[in-house]
Amino acid sequence: MSKSVKIGITIIILLTVIPVYYIFSQQDEEGKNPSTKNVKLEQKVAKTVGTEIESETTGTNALTSESQNSPTLELSEQAIKQEISKEVQETAKTTVEEEKEEVRNDFIVVIDPGHQRRANLGQEPVGPGASETKIKVTGGTAGVATGKPEYKLTLEASLILGKLLEKRGVKVIYTRTTHDVNLSNKERAEIANQNHADLFVRIHADGSTNRNVKGLSVLTPSEDDQYTKAIYQDSLKASQLILDETKKNPAVKVNGISYRGDLSGFNWSKVPSTLIEMGFMSNPSEDKHLSDTSYLTNLLTSISDGIINYSNSNK
């Protein structure tokens, strides 16, 4: 290969590689972790260039001045540009995916699987200093088609949700992991308080005398509730972000947000709180869906997306 051809190829490589290298190096300087993507890119380009040059020079001692302007050389340049473009697109895609998964590694979610095997019909104040009382914890509803009690469904769902969140860097704490507990709604809220949770997520399922009613609802503290004024705004933000994500899921019917000032689980909480009624166990079709692992995981994935969005909104 003549000296002029070598110089020409070298210039092409420099003109195409240097701008890309500069872009990636600038990203690293802006505070991102050092990456090996630049090295991989250079190696891949070098391999492509080497292959092209080898194919051009096999069985040839030298290139004439006419061959220096041949389509083969143009193909080498085109191959280099295509390879670089491919790498840039793949890198951009990876970056977006990494940013989507990114979450504060100190973000704490306390998940409360609603109810328990045995109800506790004793009374407790509805909120701090309240004279009004409520039952400590009810037994919940049961599926009309499956016969599954709500306390079993809520624990199944909570464990799935917890695993989804842990995979994305969230620290998860459960109020219960078995059915045989005796925890009042006040005590469940206090677990969230004691662990300084960033979000208290209460998992429930609904019931109605009307078997046609179905759909997911998100309950959030009322703005006018004297006990939850300090957590109202953040609770609403979390509830809305969860609702927004579930609305994107075509498999899920979403009813909306309900503001509640009568729930002791909210009133005793000092941290942002939300309660998710996943669907109606009194609706035969929805009851079956909620006991289908595939459907339930799909639903909880949308809920976890909303929780991650809430975490990211507080960075």
- Reported in sequence order, the residue ranges of 138-284 that DSSP labels E, i.e. its strands, are 171-174, 199-206, 216-221, 254-260, 273-280
| pTM (2 d.p.) | 0.69
Beta carbons of 68 and 4 less than 8 angstroms apart? yes
Q: How far is the C-alpha of 219 from the C-alpha of 235, rounded, in Å?
A: 10
pLDDT at 39 over 90: no
- Kindly report, residue by residue over 170-186, the tens digit of the pLDDT: 999 999 999 999 999 99
Q: How far is the C-alpha of 267 from the C-alpha of 275, rounded, in Å?
A: 12
Q: How far is the C-alpha of 24 from the C-alpha of 6, rounded, in Å?
A: 27
Q: How far is the C-alpha of 133 from the C-alpha of 66, rounded, in Å?
A: 96
Angle of CA points 127, 128, 133, to nearest 5° = 45
Beta carbons of 214 and 289 less than 8 angstroms apart? no
Which pLDDT band holds residue 11 (cuts at 50, 70, 90)? low
Q: Please compute Rg for the chain using Cα positions.
A: 29
Give the residues across from 254 on adjacent strands.
216
- Kindly report, residue by residue over 63-91, the tens digit of the pLDDT: 444 444 555 545 555 655 565 556 555 65
- Kindly report, residue by residue over 104-154, the tens digit of the pLDDT: 568 999 999 999 999 999 999 999 999 999 999 999 999 999 999 999 999
Looking at residues 263-278, what average pLDDT do you find?
A: 99
Mind listing the domains of the chain with CATH numbers? 3-101 (no CATH), 108-313 (3.40.630.40)
> Which residue blocks in 30-117 are alpha helix, DSSP H?
37-57, 71-101
Q: What 3-state class would DSSP assign to 306?
A: helix
Q: How far is the C-alpha of 173 from the C-alpha of 196, rounded, in Å?
A: 11
Q: How far is the C-alpha of 165 from the C-alpha of 176, rounded, in Å?
A: 17
